[in-house]
Every structure is written in structure tokens, then in C-alpha cells.
Amino acid sequence: QTEKRQKKEESLRRFQDKVRHRVAQRANIQRQQQPHINPEVTPHIRIPHHQVWEHQVSARKGKTSAETTLQQRSSPEPGEVTRQVRLRLAACRSIQPEETMSDLPGGRWNSSSTRRRDSSHMHRPEEDVLEEEEEEKDVPVFISQHECPLVLQKMVRQTLWDPDESHPDPGSKSRVPQVLWPLTDQEKVRKQRQSQFLMHRRQEMNSEREHVKENRKLMKHLQRTARMKTEKEKLRLEEERRLERIQQLSEVKLKLEERELLIQARLKLEEEEEERAVQLQRSKIKEEEKDTRRYVEALRAQMKERLSLLKLEPPPLCCCASSFWDSHPDTCANNCVFHNNPKAYAKALHSAVMCLDLQ
């Protein structure tokens, strides 16, 4: 804010310097283009000396001094000359900074020309007031601070210096003052400083308000961004937890499937082993049965040979058979001892053969 204000003040100062230079050039050109007037008619030409001044310029005192100079010198056309002098003084009239126009509502800069005119008319005679009101109709009124050619923050004071009047005439009762626009009193200086202080205070307050607003906006923005970050972080954590749960469930499921596959493989192996054992056992039983049958058949053949040689008829071995040779594990009754029991039948045959050997 301070940098912008300084830039604006510098640009305004440059613009005012340019306007002042341009107006001075135009005044010099117009003065050069004016026709030469008889020195008896015109007053002595005065050389303006510009000095930097920081107080309000009193146009009334400049006009009264011009009138006194015109009264001291005899001229055939005093009205025209005084009118030109007044116009030139009105063009060169400067306005105090506290009286310049401003865009701010209220303030001490919105003072009207009628108020200044009323304050300047308080201590004047009535004839001068009427005369100035008639002549001010022809003087251009500057409304804004940019229309006035010499509105500056550092006002310009003009002093009129005449080489002929540097030594005043002792016989003259009234003497023209060298300073056309004197200093303002302490009251106006105090008001000017007070207005400047109020202006600076208003600017500082506005800058502070803007700074506070910017800080509030920044805090709101930071809070909003922090809230959004926390919400996004919560969503991200929830999503990560959900993905972790899904991954854990998938891992557990894979482990269970692998375990089931292993269990099934083990069961299959056990079943195959059991089947193999059963098959081996069955094959063994079948082989044993075959062996016992062969053994039984051999014993029966041997028993037949011996009984044929001895011509004997042995008794039956069981109750279900009518003769000795009818007893057989395959043909015996269900309640017989030798039914599907070739071992017992073989033992019985072996004991019968042993009895025959003993005889």
C-alpha cells in the first residue's frame, strides 16, 4: 500500500511539474506576442521570481498591491490594464493542499470558492468588493485541482521586483509591498497540519483494515485447505485400510485353499495306500487259499493212494458229508467247521494221513 501511494504521489508530482512548465511556456509565448504598449500607459513591467512556498496564497492582497501601483502611475486606460493584471494573477493563483478537491467524502478539501470569497470580503471596503465581483465574472473559475495550472503540494509564491521601485520614492505616501503573497498565519498552518495528519491517519487505518481483511482471508483459506487435507487424509487412510482388509482376506482365502488342497492330497494318498494295503492283503489271502487248496488236493491224492493200497474205507470227517471224500470246504454246509476253512480241513487230512502211517 505504501509503495502504491508513493508511486501515485510521484506520478502526480511529475504531472503537476509538466503542467506548470507548459503553462509557463504558454505565458511566455503570449507575453512575447503582445504588442508593445506606450510606457506612459502601461505600468512598469515586473519580473516574477518563483519561490517554493507551503502556505495559502492571498489573491486579494496581490490585487490591492496591483491597484496601488496603478494608482501611483498615470495611465489613459487603467481599467484594461488592471483587468489584464487580475486575469494574470487569477491564472497564477495557487490553492493550498487542504483546499484542493478530493474524492474522499467530506474532509477539508471540499471547500468552495464562495466560502473563501466571504472570508476575504470581511475586512474589505464595499467598493472594492463590488468592483471585484464585477471583474471576477470574466476570470475563469477552476473547479478541480487538475484544471488549475499551478496546483502543487509545494505551493509557489511569486514576488514582484521592480528595479525602478527598489528605492522607494520618499514623497509617496503609499508604498507597494515587494512580497505579493505573504505568509499565512499559524491557525491555517495548524489546520493544514491537522488535515494532513487526519489524511495520513485515514490512509493508515484503511491500510490496516485491508491488512486485517487479507489476514482473515488468508486464515480462512488456510483453515479450508487444512480441513480439506484432513478429509482427504481420512479418506486415504480408510481406502488403505479397506485395501489392506481385502488383501488380508484374499491371503487368508489363498492359505485356506492351499491347506484344503494339501488335505485333499493327503487323503488321496492315504486312500491309495489303504487300497494298496487291501489289495495286497486280498492278494495274500488269495495266494494262501490257493496254497492251502493245492495242499489239500495233494493230501487227498496221497490219502486215496494209500487207502487204495490198503483197501480201507475211512469214516466221514464231518456230519454234513455222507463219506470221507464228500467233506470239502467248498461243499460243506454253512454251519460246518470246514465251510470256507481249508486250513482246518488240511489239518484233519494231515491227522488222518498220520494215523495211516502209524498203522
**Is 13 within a domain?**
no
C-alpha–C-alpha distance, residues 93 and 113, integer Å: 13
Say if CB 101 and CB 109 are below 8 A apart: yes
Which single residue is written with the C-alpha cell 493327503? 266
The span from the CA of 5 to the CA of 141, in Å, is 29
User: In the chain, what percentage of residues exceed pLDDT 70?
Assistant: 58
Least confident stretch, 78-92, 186-200, 280-294, 302-316? 78-92
Last residue of a domain, one of 120, 149, 183: 183
pLDDT attached to residue 355 = 80
Domain check: are 173 and 288 in the same one?
no
**pLDDT value for 221:** 95
Same domain, 270 and 179: no
344 domain-assigned = yes
Per-residue model confidence as pLDDT tens digits over 2-53: 888 888 899 898 998 988 888 888 888 888 887 554 444 444 444 444 444 4
Domain that holds residue 109: 35-183
| 175 shares a domain with 50 | yes
Instruction: Give, in degrees to the nearest 5, the angle at Cα 49 between 47 and 51.
Output: 170
Give the residue with greater pLDDT, 185 vs 359: 185
Domains: count for the chain: 2
Q: Model's pTM, two decimal places?
A: 0.30
Using alpha carbons, select from 347, 352, 18, 5 the residue that is nearest to residue 152: 18
- Residues 351 and 303 sit within 8 Å (Cβ to Cβ): no
5 in a domain, yes or no?
Answer: no
> What would the pLDDT profile of 326-339 be if each residue is shown by its tens digit?
888 888 888 888 88
| Same domain as 128, residue 268 | no
